[in-house]
Structure 1
Amino acid sequence: MDSPLTSFLQNEIQAKKDKGLYNEVDILSSENGPIIKINDRELINLASNNYLGLATNPALKEAAIDAINTFGVGAGAVRSINGTMTLHQELETALAEFKGTQAALAFQSGFNCNMGAISAIIDKNDAVLSDALNHASIIDGCRLSGAKIIRYNHSDMEDLRQKAKEAKESQKYNKMMVITDGVFSMDGDVALLPEIVEIAEEFGLMTYVDDAHGSGVMGKGAGTVKHFGLQDKVDIQMGTLSKAVGVIGGYVAGKQLLIDWLKVSARPFLFSTASTPADTAAALTAIKQLKASDQLQTQLWENARYLQKGLKDLGFTLSPTETPITPVIIGDENIAQTFSKRLMEEGVYAKAIVFPTVPLGTGRIRNMPTAAHNKAMLDRAIEVYEKVGKELAIIE
């Protein structure tokens, strides 16, 4: 007789498979570049967050190796004891300069940033106004804080203003914060930051921007906040080092007072071993490259526009993206999964994105062109999309 756990897991996994909501994990036997190898097959890779191709950059590899030789493979302690190395300090200084803030603090991941920073600033006596399509790490960070979560309709500034007004007039909360992604990762649209800042100033809200998909992409690489010139208006900026920067980790940037507080209050900073010397050195090298040149961003945007035009010309429905994120909307989850599998069989790797990552009935293939792709790769991907799209009656 199966145990209660086994029965539960078997039933739930089968239910997800029946609805097209079960994703298989594919194993790479190569670096995660524009071409990847899975099961000994080379595929054009349109699924990576490696926007600028820095994950395979020779200078970053060399920096990582040098750091291992100098500092070892691990930091050996949490940051607040003796896990902070000169490399961490140099990275944080470079990040603050790049983001246009007084200071920055590096974490082990972007998820850790949101879990640590949000709960260090707000608590059960406070309220947070959160965009309905905010990333899961924002949602979890808000839940962990114990604050009242007030969702406003996605990028609906009238709804945000009304809910901020109601929360303010209720006089229930000691502090209030509005929090949003800078770039929304499933649709590629950009937050209306100037309007959000205006509403925040009107009602006395703190402002928090998760710029995981904007850092390295928007604002000549410095992010969505810098794109709008709001670095002096947004209280807290969060970013990752694992997407456009090409390594692993995250950071929070803002005023020195904020960083001083997070160093003694953010639990992931206090209770997790510091990022490895190799990762820290590689991320530092990447930030230096981004500060020195915007060539990679220029190539990224050129490739993105090329792919998006090619797919639109074929008749595919794309989300209203404003960034290189290129979701092709399929709708039915099972068809989206089949579409992804057929793309892979034809030599293109692009994953189906389905519920709960996106709402039911909005299954899609999310394509992530990078600066490392060339036109021949993109042309081949467009050809495969045409073949599979006609085969599955998505396009005529």
Structure 2
Amino acid sequence: MNTWADWFAAQRTAREEAGLQRALRPRAAGDDLLDLANNDYLGLSGHPDVRRAAADAALWWGAGAGASRLVTGTTTLHTELERELAEFTGREAALVFSTGYHANLSVVTALADRDALIVSDAHVHASLIDAARLSRATIRVTAHNDVAAMREALAAAGGRRALVLTESVFSVLGDAAPLDDLAEACADHDALLVVDEAHGLGVIGHGGRGLVHHLGLSAHPNVVMTATLSKSLGAMGGVVLGSAALVDHLVNRARPFIFDTGLAPAPAAGALAALRTLRGEPQLPERIHERSAALADRLGVPRTAGAVLSVPMPSPQTAVATQAAALAAGVRVGCFRPPSVPDGVSRLRITTHAGLDDARWAHAVDVLARVVENHLALT
């Protein structure tokens, strides 16, 4: 009879043989690596005003929220952050969560049940996939950005409540969703379009207000928006933005909201300060697009809609080796391998950053061009 120890060992061996074994690699505070793996696109996590706001909030409010938000875990920081996020994105109301993962779990599971239909793009984030499964709704997965397939699935809903799940800018390929067409399809079939703006907020549209706002869909009654506070806003947490009726429903029905301790004061204050900084420096998203386009051209990969660049690798092993070569040269990049990639293709994931000065950015680009060319030439 196999023991749990035998099973764990066999699982690890299988991962190692496939080139899919992962490990945690702690980084030290203040290391001098050029980090193009993190999602702090605008460099606001280290902004002096953001750091000071987070530190002051921890000193004033304490290290944690102390309770779920329906008990005593809601502070004036939370309500102020929600009000300003809604105003910034043009939505009626907002509700802040401890993570973006919880925001997606909440909105889907509170709106869909076993009597509902969920139509999901094949490339959506794991949090939306998990949310759809937990909802117990009927799930139809359609090909990436295939509006016709989405329409076909909605037409077969048979009168059931229906949700369509997509991202504004996809987290692996960095391409944008056809939100105009998807919103029109949802309106035609009385479905809700849930748009995860994790990689759009702070990057896309006027002043980084996101793709939903950029396309004039902020007031669309069939569009619900989610986002994270841990990427462009450099803190942590998540948010759902939509109608006041939606927020009221989530407060009363979303289990990840009701039973989770509220977002801690420090990241709430940090996110609020980052949002205000972004409003005062609306040129930051433009720097992202300029650098992203130039880097894509240098690496010979397609330009993307946001800050994420994806460099396909011929194998998981090549991806890991190229990542290691970049790290040895002082540049940290991401490495996506199955099952983290929706199409099964291993790739380097490089994030463009507005916070680096021109000299450091140019050096990072030179390093990446060299190591990618060298490792692709060896395959």
Partner of 2:362: 379
- Distance (Å, rounded) in 2 between the aligned partners of 1:195 and 1:162: 13
Q: For residue 377 of structure 1, what is the amino acid of its counterpart?
A: R
Amino acid at match of 1:192: P
Alignment match, 2:311: 328
The question of 1:21 aligning with 2:20 is answered yes
Long gaps (5+) in structure 1? 32-36, 313-317
Per-residue displacement from partner, 1:142-181 (whole Å, max 9, x unpaired)?
A: 11111001111100111112222222xxx2x530111111
Which region of structure 1 is more displaced relative to structure 2, 287-296 or 137-146? 287-296
Determine whether 1:197 maps to 2:180: no
The aligned counterpart of 1:257 is 245
Between Structure 1 and Structure 2, how many residues are aligned?
Answer: 377
SS at match of 1:177: strand
How far apart, in 1, do the equivalents of 2:368 and 2:281 lie?
Answer: 33
- Correspondence 1:357 to 2:340: yes
Q: Provide TM-score, normalisation by structure 1.
A: 0.91
Decide whether aligned partners of structure 1 residues 201 and 361 sit closer, same or farther in structure 2, where only a CA change above 3 A counts. closer
Partner Cα separation in structure 1 for residue 168 and residue 368 of structure 2: 29
Residue identity in the other structure for 1:224: L
Aligned residue for 2:97? Answer: 107
Asked whether 1:273 is paired with 2:267, we answer no
| Correspondence for 1:289 among 264, 277, 293 | 277
Could you give the per-residue CA deviations for residues 25-52 of structure 1, whole angstroms, max 9, x where no partner exists?
Answer: 2211025xxxxx2xxxx32211010010
| Aligned partner (choices 287, 299, 302) of residue 311 of structure 1 | 299
Is the 1:235–1:255 Cα contact (8 Å) retained in structure 2? no
Kindly report which structure 2 residues correspond to 1:144-223, keeping only aligned pairs within 5 A, or say none.
144-167=134-157, 171=158, 173-219=159-205, 220-223=207-210
1:209-257 Cα distance to aligned partner (Å, 9 max, x none) = 1111111111221111011111111431100000000000000011101
In 2, the alpha carbon distance for the partners of 1:308 and 1:178 equals 31
1:62-141 matched pairs, under 5 angstroms? 62-141=52-131
Q: Following the alignment from structure 1 to structure 2, what is the Cα–Cα distance between the partners of residues 361 and 197?
A: 29
| Distance (whole Å) between structure 1 residues aligned to residue 90 and residue 282 of structure 2 | 16
Give, in angstroms, the shift of residue 347 of structure 1.
Answer: 1.8
| Residue number in structure 2 paired with 1:235 | 223
Aligned to 1:315: none
Q: Which has the higher mean CA deviation after the structures are superposed, 375-384 or 61-70? A: 375-384
SS of residue matched to 1:15: helix
Selected match of 2:133 from 116, 120, 143: 143
Question: Could you list the per-position Cα deviations for residues 114-155 of structure 1 after superposition, in whole angstroms to 9, with x for gaps in the alignment?
Answer: 111111111000001100111000010111111001111100
How far residue 320 of structure 1 moved from its aligned partner, in angstroms, is 5.5
Instruction: Give 1:359 deviation, angstroms.
Output: 4.5
- Give the match's secondary structure for 2:353: coil
Judged with a 3 Å threshold, the aligned counterparts in structure 2 of structure 1 residues 48 and 121 are, in CA distance, closer, same or farther, namely same
Partner of 1:34: none
Shift of 1:373: 1.9
Aligned-residue CA RMSD (Å):
1.8
C-alpha change, 1:235 and 1:157, in structure 2 (3 Å) is: closer
Contact 2:199–2:307 under 8 Å retained in 1: no
Closer, same or farther: CA 393–80 of 1 in aligned 2, 3 Å: closer
Unaligned runs of 5+ in 2: none
Distance 1:229 1:96 in 2: 15
CA distance in 1, matches of 2:204, 2:343: 29
Structure 2 residue corresponding to 1:225, chosen from 175, 187, 212: 212
> In the superposition, relative to structure 1, how do residues 98 and 360 fare at CA in structure 2: closer, same or farther (>3 Å)?
closer
- Between 1:113-122 and 1:343-352, the stretch displaced more is 343-352
